[in-house]
């Protein structure tokens, strides 16, 4: 192990070093934590806290073949997971006695357009079937290296079904930067503001205003951060943009850097997309060699570079302040706000945090002008929106529409039939039934970060809601009590109802707990965690009522009767032995 710690890394960032160590030794030992802390000049407690916070790092040994099956409603298939467990005689969440294999579940890995999927030693395998699982078992038993497995298993297509403003063509590298050559920060900012571009993560904050607030904040340095940690189940649009429009994304980050006066940017890539890292680093290096990054960009006197930080399986790091904490080599726990990142972000400096789609759009706007963008969409929602369509439909994939498209139109285009419900914006978003299919995708109607999950009438919708509720319970960072305890109470309460043991009283308790968690939680995770249950009770109350033990039953507890066994054991039946 000493030789690994003393070997130079391609990056000295703590998360990168932990990834490298986990990949080689299959866990992070006490000795490794001490040596990594010494190497990186960090407190041992900080290295240990980071290791234990992120799901992809392990303190006990995992197998040489470490397999994580997605348990997402769109790209998960736990039956296939159990097939592999039975085939190799290993239990879930355990490592085989010979250290060969570990099998566990993980949250959505962003492959919802490819069917059942899993991570094998960090690499993505899609379109799993019973036959592939059987072949996989044979390869593992023969200890065939993953690098020698069929390459077709690891091929990941874009599945672009409908193109719009952003997807029709990728920008030529440097085109947007050349378009703003000689233009002032105010001129570029006015272009972005006039376009009406809002953040595409779902909140819809004005991009121009965010950039202006950051630029105007008093500081000697500023940062640009791209949030590519699209961990919301059912979302995979950023995966496509990172794969096919990386140059345009980096162009947008550079434009933002020029506007706000930043010299450094960071792309925070979700751990499930680590397979993209080499390609992204190659694109960055090509841009440096072309004079589009680094010192004196295109001879303008402007210095700007971009580094990549890879996450490690923490949904909470999609929250911008938690993401900043992660870049700072800390556990991804959301900060108390205010202050907001635009005034006190990365290392306490003003920071713009935008997601991938927003920055790609910004590059197009400064190249083509604000009219190119604002003529699409609605009055309050300008431009287009990329939707990750998955679930029970014939044509899952990426659809780009002008804002204002109806849910019904999307369902028709995707070939969805007998639709019972649609989850828009992921579990944190909104669950709707047929009566809302005439509604529109727009900030003023149904806002979304991009997830669009379809469920037909064959689905047990309560099981879907239960899946989402378990997801939030698992992903809570544990910082605040309302979320840490409340998500567990919601999970247990819903499980009781789904199993047929609930009563009307349990439904009331679910509603009260949901209200408390939503109002009192520290960050957006807790605030939105009750949404699946609350929407389910509002839109599909009959599904809950059908599972109740008895509509009129009221639970009660008879303390005197519960003492009967104690009285019998002590041979007492006097008045003082009764209540």
Residues 75-85, mean pLDDT to the nearest whole number: 95
Query: Distance between CA atoms of 220 and 211, rounded to whole angstroms?
Result: 16
- The token duo for 199 is 């953040």
Higher local confidence (pLDDT), 536 or 572: 536
Lowest mean pLDDT among 163-167, 213-217, 564-568: 564-568
Classify residue 558: in a domain, yes or no: no
Query: Reduced to 3 states, what is the DSSP secondary structure of residue 27?
Result: coil
**pLDDT score, position 197:** 98
| 8: confidence class by pLDDT, cuts 50, 70, 90 | low
What single-letter DSSP state applies at residue 396?
A: -
Mean pLDDT, rounded, for 341-346: 98
Q: How many domains does the chain have?
A: 5
Is 259 a residue whose pLDDT tops 80?
Answer: yes
- Of all helices (H) and strands (E), which one includes residue 355? strand 351-355
Question: Any idea what the Cα angle at residue 104 is, between residues 103 and 107, rounded to 5°?
Answer: 145
- The DSSP bridge partners found for residue 335 are none
Q: What is the mean pLDDT of residues 430-445?
A: 98
Last residue of a domain, one of 102, 129, 154: 154
Q: Are residues 266 and 194 in the same domain?
A: yes
In a domain, 576, yes or no: no
pLDDT digit string (tens) for 470-501? 999 999 999 999 999 999 999 999 999 999 99
Residue where one domain finishes, among candidates 434, 459, 484: 459
For residue 190, what pLDDT is reported? 97
**Is 432 in the same domain as 319?**
no
pLDDT at 287 over 60: yes
pLDDT tens-digit series, residues 190-201? 999 999 999 998
Residue 578's pLDDT is 85
Cα gap 39→42, rounded to integer Å: 8
Could you tell me the sign of the dihedral formed by the alpha carbons of 107, 109, 110, 113, in that order? Answer: negative
Q: Mark whether 143 and 220 lie in a shared domain.
A: no
The predicted pLDDT at position 7 comes to: 52
Is the per-residue pLDDT at 290 higher than 60? yes
Amino acid 1: pLDDT: 43
User: Is 58 a member of any domain?
Assistant: no
Digit-coded pLDDT (tens) for 206-253: 999 999 999 999 999 999 999 999 999 999 999 999 999 999 999 999
Residue 369 shares a structural domain with residue 500:
no
User: Is residue 16 very low, low, confident or very high in pLDDT (cuts 50, 70, 90)?
Assistant: very high
Residues 281, 341: one domain?
yes
Please tell me whether residues 174 and 274 are part of one structural domain: yes
Domain assignment present for residue 563? The answer is: no
Least confident of 85-94, 102-111, 547-556: 547-556
Looking at residue 211, which CATH number applies to its domain?
3.40.50.11540
Q: Give residue for tokens 């193109």.
A: 163
The answer to whether residues 205 and 315 belong to one domain is: yes
pLDDT of residue 23: 94
Domain stops at, among 130, 154, 178: 154
Q: What is the value of pTM for the model shown? A: 0.93
DSSP strand pairing (223-228 vs 451-456): unpaired
Q: What pLDDT is attached to residue 347? A: 98
- What's the whole-number mean pLDDT along residues 280-298? 98
By residue range, what is the domain housing residue 107? 65-154
- Residue 541's Cβ-count burial label (10 Å; 0-12, 13-18, 19+) is exposed
Q: What is the pLDDT of residue 551?
A: 61
How far apart are alpha carbons 386 and 53 in whole angstroms? 31
- Neighbouring-strand partners of residue 308: 267
Mean pLDDT is lowest, of 53-57, 275-279, 551-555, for 551-555
Q: What is the pLDDT of residue 561?
A: 84
Model confidence at 4: pLDDT above 70? no
Whether residue 571 lies inside any domain: the answer is no
Q: Is residue 566 part of a domain?
A: no
Query: Residue 555 pLDDT more than 80?
Result: no
Residue 246 CA to residue 225 CA, distance in Å, equals 15
Q: What percent of the chain has pLDDT over 90?
A: 91
Let me know whether 79 and 211 are in one domain: no
């Amino acid at each position: 192990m000493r030789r690994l710690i003393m070997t130079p890394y391609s990056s000295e960032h703590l998360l990168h070093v932990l990834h490298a160590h986990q990949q080689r030794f299959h866990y992070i030992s006490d000795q490794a934590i001490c040596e990594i802390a010494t190497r990186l000049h960090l407190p041992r407690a900080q290295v240990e806290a980071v290791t234990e916070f992120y799901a992809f790092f392990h303190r006990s040994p995992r197998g040489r073949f470490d397999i994580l099956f997605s348990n997402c409603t769109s790209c998960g298939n736990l039956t296939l997971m159990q097939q592999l467990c039975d085939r190799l005689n290993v239990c879930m969440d355990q490592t085989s006695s010979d250290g060969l294999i570990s099998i566990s579940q993980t949250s959505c890995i962003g492959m919802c357009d490819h069917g059942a999927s899993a991570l094998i030693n960090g690499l993505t395998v899609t379109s799993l079937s019973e036959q592939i699982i059987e072949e996989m078992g044979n390869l593992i038993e023969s200890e065939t290296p993953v690098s020698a497995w069929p390459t077709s298993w690891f091929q990941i297509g874009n599945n672009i079904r409908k193109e719009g403003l952003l997807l029709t063509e990728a920008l030529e590298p440097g085109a947007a930067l050349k378009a703003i050559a000689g233009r002032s920060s105010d001129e570029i900012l006015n272009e972005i503001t006039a376009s009406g571009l809002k953040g595409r993560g779902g909140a819809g904050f004005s991009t121009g205003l965010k950039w202006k607030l950051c630029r105007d904040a008093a500081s000697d340095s500023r940062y640009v951060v791209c949030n590519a940690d699209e961990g919301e189940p059912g979302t995979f649009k950023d995966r496509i943009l990172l794969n096919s429009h990386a140059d345009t994304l980096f162009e947008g980050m550079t434009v933002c850097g020029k506007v706000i006066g930043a010299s450094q940017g960071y792309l925070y890539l979700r751990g499930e997309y680590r397979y993209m890292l080499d390609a992204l680093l190659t694109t960055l290096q090509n841009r440096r060699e072309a004079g589009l990054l680094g010192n004196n960009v295109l001879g303008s006197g402007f210095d700007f570079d971009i580094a990549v930080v890879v996450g490690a399986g923490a949904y909470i790091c999609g929250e911008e302040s938690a993401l900043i904490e992660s870049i700072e080599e800390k556990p991804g726990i959301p900060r108390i706000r205010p202050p907001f990142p635009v005034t006190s972000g990365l290392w306490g400096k003003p920071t713009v945090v935008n997601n991938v789609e927003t920055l790609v759009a910004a590059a197009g706007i400064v190249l083509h002008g604000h009219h190119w963008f604002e003529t699409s969409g609605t009055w309050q929602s300008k431009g287009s929106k990329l939707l990750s369509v998955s679930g029970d439909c014939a044509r899952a994939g990426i659809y780009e529409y002008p804002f204002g498209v109806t849910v019904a139109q999307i369902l028709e285009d995707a070939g969805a039939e007998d639709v019972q419900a649609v989850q828009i914006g992921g579990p944190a978003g909104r669950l709707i039934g047929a009566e809302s299919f005439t509604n529109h995708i727009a900030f003023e109607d149904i806002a979304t970060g991009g997830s669009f999950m379809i469920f037909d009438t064959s689905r047990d919708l309560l099981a879907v809601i239960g899946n989402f509720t378990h997801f939030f319970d698992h992903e809570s960072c544990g910082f605040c009590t309302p979320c840490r305890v409340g998500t567990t109470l919601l999970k247990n309460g819903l499980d009781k109802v789904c199993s047929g043991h609930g009563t009307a009283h349990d439904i009331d308790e679910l509603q009260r707990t949901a209200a408390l968690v939503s109002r009192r939680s520290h960050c957006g995770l807790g605030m939105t965690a009750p949404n699946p249950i609350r929407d389910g009770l509002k839109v599909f109350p009959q599904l809950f009522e059908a599972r109740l033990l008895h509509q009129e039953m009221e639970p009660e507890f008879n303390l005197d009767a519960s003492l009967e066994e104690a009285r019998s054991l002590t041979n007492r039946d006097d008045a003082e032995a009764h209540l």
